Structure 1
Amino acid sequence: MSRPRTILLAALALLLAAAGPTAVPSPAAASDNGLSLRPAMGWSSWSFVRRQPTEAKLKAQADALVSSGLQDHGYVYINLDDFYQKCDANGFTVDQYGRWAVDEAKFPSGIKALADFIHSKGLKFGFYVTPGIAKNAVTRNTPIEGTSYHAKDIADTSKQEKNYNCKNMYYIDYSKPGSQEFVNSWARQFASWGVDYLKIDGVGSHDIPDVRAWDKALRASGRSINYALSNNLAIADAPTWRQLANSWRTQGDVECYCGPGPNGSGFPLTTWDKVATRFNSAASWQQYAGPGGWNDLDSLEIGNGDQVGLNADQRRSHMTLWAMAASPLLLGTDLTALTATDKAMLTNDRLIAVNQDGVAAGRIVNSGSQQVWSKREAGGDYIVALFNTGTSGNQTVSVNWSQVGFPGAAAVTDLWSGRSGPVVSGSYSATLRPGETRLIRATPQSSTAVRYEAENASYSAGSTVDSDHGGFSGSGFVNTPNAAGAYMEWTVESATANDTSIAIRYANGTAAGRPMDVAVNGAVVSAGRPFNGTGAWTTWADATLTVPLKAGSNTVRVTASTANGAPNLDYLDRG
């Protein structure tokens, strides 16, 4: 049942509408904190600045983000990664409440002043932490701010947490009073400094209590903070990551650590092998991405030409995959030395729109070095990416329109160049150099879709056919009761037995997902399929899936699986 939309979500919906057609959200139940309805865009210090971040370097990158024009294309985060802290022989030095102390030699004005500078540019500031409590806090038995508890009350000194800098971090025992309050105090400090994005690094499945504690702490901090998890998280726990966070790293670092500087710093930043491994992880994790929570493929190493370790073809493929996967676009390069070629890549609004459309593409061809990925937009267009992932030899990569999801012919637009080509029937192919990509928009020229309006279907008792939120098809939409078990059932005809693409049009003006079970002819084919927030009750989206139909009449029922009930339902389209 409808709920009043918040000002924040309404504003985001207006911004997205202004940007152009909104694509179909991919099926995922993500954090309901109302943040990151689209993947984050910006810059992170780790790849290029690495272990020597300073106030001056961060300010220079912020200035360059603005002066280069990247900000105008949606890149807004300046994220300070690791090695801003001060260490001694026992690990991190800490403040009076046991929290990491900032290295004043690197950041003489303090973190709040840096955040204020970044905010003055119209940008957002990101920060970094890892799970646990510092050894020095336990040794000193520092008090936990606002409580009668101390560090020794909450530390499990039998186990050390992963940390990449000063190390010497103990586990926190969350069964102990004061543990959540310690994390809360740290989150309040970050909020008071003006943090807009927090990366918690070194996270493994054993750290789920920490991830949960930080989620609670950030929500209670008084500031909206985009919450990112890193790195190489277990896919077995994907439902937990998407419930608690706004993004999660699906693999280890994209950096090669093969530069000439200390610890492999300097150029090159990455290799094609490092990038190419992301194709398989993006395919495996695809189902978990959606508004509010994204699969993070790691930094985008584009900006400084070939010296990053990728040639121009590979860099375009790098950005194409990140865009198709709806990964955050967080640049790792030196923004003060952007090349013209790379700036053109990064400011290609057609590519950015593919990333920001709110849906992660699926892989439909995977044959040797040939790959094809596709996703369907709400307006009926398809975005298709073809790749030659090899390092030698041209490849002619082909895909049938039926594999993409529609029959017949399509008008094709090359999204990298913007050139529109002729209408192409049956299939599409491109001969690609090693590492090259082709990214197209395919607009089907004839529609075989059959629409089944919700108001003409069967639905649970207490449902109403309403028309008070615009943008619907037909005479109205169905508003079911807010209850588990609320359902909608369509009778769908099929001339033959086949696997058929369907699209269920819905609106969810809340930040919370409204998962439903999808059943065909009484058998559940997608359990707990999420129907995430769309930003407003007037913003409609399609949840698409492929279902098995028999010849003749079929029932397709969607049933709410939580007390939130179902979203507003407009229609079902059968491909």
Structure 2
Amino acid sequence: MSPSAAVLIPLAAAVLLRPVVGQTQCGGNLYTPGTLNFTLECYNAFQDCVAQFEANASQVDCNDGKGNLFMQQQANLGASPGSQNNDAIIAFQDIRDLCLLSGSTTATWGYSDNQWYWAAAEDACYTNDPTRTDVVKTHPAPFCIQNRDSSLPECYPQPDATPPGGPLKVIKTAKTRNGFKSSARGWNTYGVQALVNGSQVVPSFAGQSGLFYTQKFVETQCGVLARPEFKKAGYDLCSLDSGWQATTAVDQHGRIIYNTTRFNLPELASWLHKRDLKLGVYITPGVPCLAHNQTILGTNIKIKDVLNGNNDQINCDFDFRKDGVQQWHDSVVAQWASWGVDMLKLDFLTPGSPSNGANLACDSSDAVRAYQKAIKKSGRKIRLDISWKLCRNETWLPIWSDLAESMRTDQDLDNYGTNTLMAWQVGQRAIENYRQYIGLQAQRNVPLTIYPDMDALFTVNPEHLAGVNDTIRYTVQNHWLGAGANLIIGGDMEQVDALGLKLTTSKQSIDAADFFAKYPMQPRNPGTGSNAAKQLQAWIGGPSDDHEAYVLIVNYGPDLGNGGFSTKLYGKQKVTVSLKDLGISGSAWTFTDIWSGKSSRVTGSYSAWLTEGESQLLRLKRTH
């Protein structure tokens, strides 16, 4: 065994026992991996410093004594002794593998636990001498580090601009890969979980917080879904976000299991199914790292033998080239199907998913394929929702569209750090991301086989909990309906008010949702018919073969930072859209506001005065 391999083994083992999430930033001089190698002398000095730091949290500096390698740690000396620098090993592994050996000569690692680490290698640590054997080879970074707020333009391009007055190309949705003909409707736990202190504002969440919630809370919330008005409107999915899983245990085959102190998933599924409801669960790619010594069901393969070495989360990543990986996914989904699971939300996928500091595989689409195959093999009809803010360029939209029922188009909508569910600034951002998404889908000139997931629908609760006023609640509902998006309610089902009930369960809402599931809306700028982001905007879904359409007109109010349109028109504004702008000129149409019921016959243009954040969702029928 080489000296380098001998040192790597305990590092990897330590990571399996204590996964964390940190942020690595590479810097210094850049080089092309593979053109230089790292000297074994510097490598061993690096490892020796790691050992020194791990043994002594108060040690700040370490170097090789020759002026070629320098390292520092800033431990959290105010923490308990075992936690002061407990990130040191994985931090320096990231610094080494993602930076010093992968194209950069300096790196820092830091996160909110008040620990910080740094290393810098001078030129003497690198050599381009191909005859030297006392080296460690450099290589491209094995995992991707993405800034949460990066615009990632290669992943999220703007759609091609449609020419003013251009013809309308009706967008249609076909069946998804697993045979679904509409997006999901239901409720999810995370809206309440994300509140800064949900127990203060959601009575059934008392004594719970964040990932620590209970089956009783879920049953209380989803018991409301079982009411006739929600069932009639198709809201039948009771979805558990992160927190249902056991974090300190797996079964004998290394499969993800539920936290038995707070949940009994077979029992919960039975409870839901008796009420004609469905069960959804949240997962991320990979396998719990603590399962590394378990044997995959139906094989003699140990899980540790099919991993790829990325252990920077609670889950370790698979090497999908290896036998046993698909069998693990098959066994996991088969077990969940036997419990009665009806939907999987697979989160933290790439490309996309700004990483929050986690080392994510640069491409985790193989995880989606593995779950999709496992779902098919299970024989149970299970939805697959993939997340979050996935890459939607011309390469990736077709891939995701062939693998899942829905895909996230934006980051989280939650109003983190508060006890309200959302803020309109983030709502503007979500709508702008949908505009980009649907424009890119339209360019493909094929029926859509995946639905957009715009995140939770925060429209059923009054303003003190929703975080937005009633005018904006209408506008949010109108956009989620128009997009044909997942209608997964976030918030407290026990505090649904009259408006919330109307927005989600009324006949006009159901009719609109059913229509947009087939004909998602696309932007048509007032005055031009183009598809750019505008503060005063119009959208159209359809027309259908039966000469029916829906039009949404809106005044988003001043751009709050992420609306995409940059203008700041205040107060009421007149929004006028012509039939030509909408691409449906040459006929007369009846425009009916679905919420007020007011109708008018339109042969030229339609106008409305709308205040900031106000919209009208109009049902159109051709009259001749």
| Length-normalised TM-score, structure 2 | 0.62
Q: Which moved more, 1:98-107 or 1:37-46?
A: 98-107
2: CA distance, partners of 1:327 / 1:352: 13
In the alignment, the residues of structure 2 paired with residue 426 and residue 151 of structure 1 have an alpha-carbon distance, to the nearest angstrom, of 66
The equivalent residue for 2:318 is 172
* 8 Å Cα contact 2:472/2:613 also seen in 1: yes
| Matched-pair contact (CA < 8 Å) for 2:289–2:311 | no
Q: Which of 221, 224, 239 is the matching residue for 1:61? A: 221
Match for residue 289 of structure 2? Answer: 135
Aligned to 2:372: 215
Aligned runs of 1:15-34 on 2, under 5 Å?
26-27=171-172, 31-34=176-179
1:103 aligns to what?
Answer: 259
8 Å CA contact 1:61, 1:335 repeated in 2: yes
Matched, 1:80 2:240: yes
Q: Which residue of 2 aligns with 1:335?
A: 493
How far 1:277 sits from its partner (Å)? Answer: 1.0
Aligned: 1:256 with 2:415 = yes
- 2:455 aligned counterpart, secondary structure: coil
**Number of the residue aligned with 2:612:** 434
Q: Rate the CA distance shift 1:153–1:25 in 2: closer, same or farther, 3 A.
A: farther
1:373 deviates by 0.2
Quote the offset at 1:378 in angstroms. Answer: 2.3
Instruction: Identify, as 1 or 2, the structure richer in strand.
Output: 1
- State the match for 1:41 in structure 2: 185
1:444–1:25: structure 2 CA closer, same or farther, 3 Å change rule?
closer
Conserved 8 A contact 1:30-1:244 = no
Partner residue in 2 for 1:310:
468
Residue in 2 that maps onto 1:353 = 511
CA deviation map 1:481-538 (0-9, x unaligned): xxxxxxxxxxxxxxxxxxxxxxxxxxxxxxxxxxxxxxxxxxxxxxxxxxxxxxxxxx
Q: Which residue of 2 aligns with 1:512?
A: none
Per-residue deviation, 1:367: 6.2
Letter in 1 for 2:250: V
SS at match of 1:69: helix
Partner of residue 389, structure 1: 556
Indicate which of 221, 231, 238 corresponds to 2:397. Answer: 238
Quick one: which amino acid aligns to residue 572 of structure 2? Answer: N
Question: Does the Cα contact within 8 Å between 1:239 and 1:288 map onto a contact in 2?
Answer: no
| Count of aligned pairs between the two proteins | 400
CA distance, structure 2, for counterparts of residue 381 and residue 31 of structure 1: 24
Q: Counterparts of 2:551 and 2:510 in 1: how far apart (Å)?
A: 15
Partner SS, residue 537 of structure 2: strand
Please list, as runs of the form range in 1=range in 2, the aligned pairs for 1:415-430 lying within 5 A after superposition: 415-419=594-598, 421-430=599-608
Structure 1 Cα separation of the partners of residues 185 and 305 of structure 2: 40
Contact 2:401–2:448, Cα closer than 8 Å, also in 1:
no
TM-fit CA distance, 1:213 = 0.7
- Residues 229-273 of structure 1, C-alpha deviations (whole Å, 9 max, x = no match): 0111000211111100000001110112132xxxxxxx2011001
Tell me the SS of whatever aligns to 2:220: helix
In structure 1, which of residues 255, 279, 289 is the aligned counterpart of residue 431 of structure 2? 279
Instruction: Indicate the SS of the match to 1:372.
Output: strand
Cα distance between partner residues in 1 of 2:602 and 2:461: 36
Q: Does 1:320 align with 2:486?
A: no
Following the alignment from structure 1 to structure 2, what is the Cα–Cα distance between the partners of residues 327 and 404?
A: 22
Checking the alignment, whether the CA contact within 8 Å between 1:288 and 1:294 is kept in structure 2 is: no
- Report deviation, 1:69: 2.3
By how many angstroms is 1:388 displaced? 0.8
Tell me, in whole angstroms, the C-alpha distance in 1 between the residues paired with 2:307 and 2:603: 65
Give yes or no for contact 1:197–1:228 (8 Å, CA) kept in 2: yes
| Structure 1 portions without partners, runs of 5+ | 1-23, 162-166, 260-266, 447-575
Corresponding residue of 1:458? none
Q: How far apart in 2 are the matches of 1:432 and 1:155?
A: 56
Aligned to 1:155: 307
Higher relative contact order (CA 8 A, sep 6+): 1
The one-letter code matched in structure 2 to 1:304 is N
Per-residue CA deviation, residues 359-391 of structure 1 (Å, 9 max, x unaligned), is 211100156421100021221122100011015
What letter is aligned with 1:156? N
Structure 1 residue 341: deviation in Å? 1.9
Cα offset for 1:106? Answer: 1.3
Matched residue, 1:199: 345
Give the 3 Å change call, closer, same or farther, for CA 30–172 of structure 1 in structure 2: farther
- The 3-state SS of whatever aligns with 2:434 is helix
Report the equivalent of 2:360: none
- Quote the sequence identity (%): 29
In the alignment, the residues of structure 1 paired with residue 533 and residue 343 of structure 2 have an alpha-carbon distance, to the nearest angstrom, of 38
Q: Is the 8 A contact 1:323 1:354 kept in 2?
A: yes
Structure of higher CA gyration radius: 2
Change (3 A) 1:58 1:285: same
Contact preservation (8 Å) 1:37, 1:293: no
**Residue 112 of structure 2 corresponds to which residue in structure 1?**
none
CA separation in 2, counterparts of 1:340 and 1:398? 31
| 2:411 match: secondary structure | coil
Q: Matches of 2:254 and 2:344 in 1, distance apart?
A: 19
**SS state of the match for residue 235, structure 1?**
coil
| Cα deviation digits, residues 425-472 of structure 1 (max 9, x gap) | 2000110111111111222333xxxxxxxxxxxxxxxxxxxxxxxxxx
Give the equivalent residue in structure 2 for 1:296: 453
The equivalent position to 2:536 in structure 1, one of 370, 373, 388, is 370
Q: Give the alignment of 1:481-500 within 5 angstroms.
A: none
Q: Distance in 1 between matches of 2:235 and 2:212?
A: 23
Give 1:68 deviation, angstroms. Answer: 6.7
CA distance in 2, matches of 1:239, 1:292: 9
Corresponding residue number in structure 2 for 1:411: 590
Residue 563 of structure 1: aligned partner? none
**Is residue 178–residue 382 contact of structure 2 (8 Å, CA) maintained in 1?**
no
Cα shift at 1:291:
6.3
Q: Is this contact kept in 2: 1:254–1:275, CA < 8 A?
A: yes
> SS at 2:348's partner residue?
coil
Separation of aligned partners in 1, 2:350 and 2:503: 34
In structure 2, what is the Cα distance between the partners aligned to 1:411 and 1:27?
A: 22
Q: Which residue does 2:130 correspond to in 1? A: none
Q: Show the 5 A alignment for 1:564-575.
A: none
C-alpha distance in structure 2 between counterparts of 1:62 and 1:29, whole Å: 29
2: CA distance, partners of 1:283 / 1:367: 8
Unaligned runs of 5+ in 2: 1-168, 195-210, 352-362, 526-531, 559-569
CA–CA separation in structure 2 for the residues paired with 1:280 and 1:298: 13
| 1:39 Cα offset (Å) | 1.2
1:29 to partner: Cα distance = 6.9
Distance change in 2, residues 1:75/1:368 (3 Å): same
Letter of the structure 1 residue corresponding to residue 181 of structure 2: L
Question: How many Å apart are 1:97 and its aligned residue?
Answer: 1.0
1:52: which partner in 2? 212
1:189 equivalent to 2:349? Answer no
Q: Distance in 1 between matches of 2:387 and 2:478?
A: 22
Is this contact kept in 2: 1:45–1:79, CA < 8 A? yes
Partner of 2:113: none
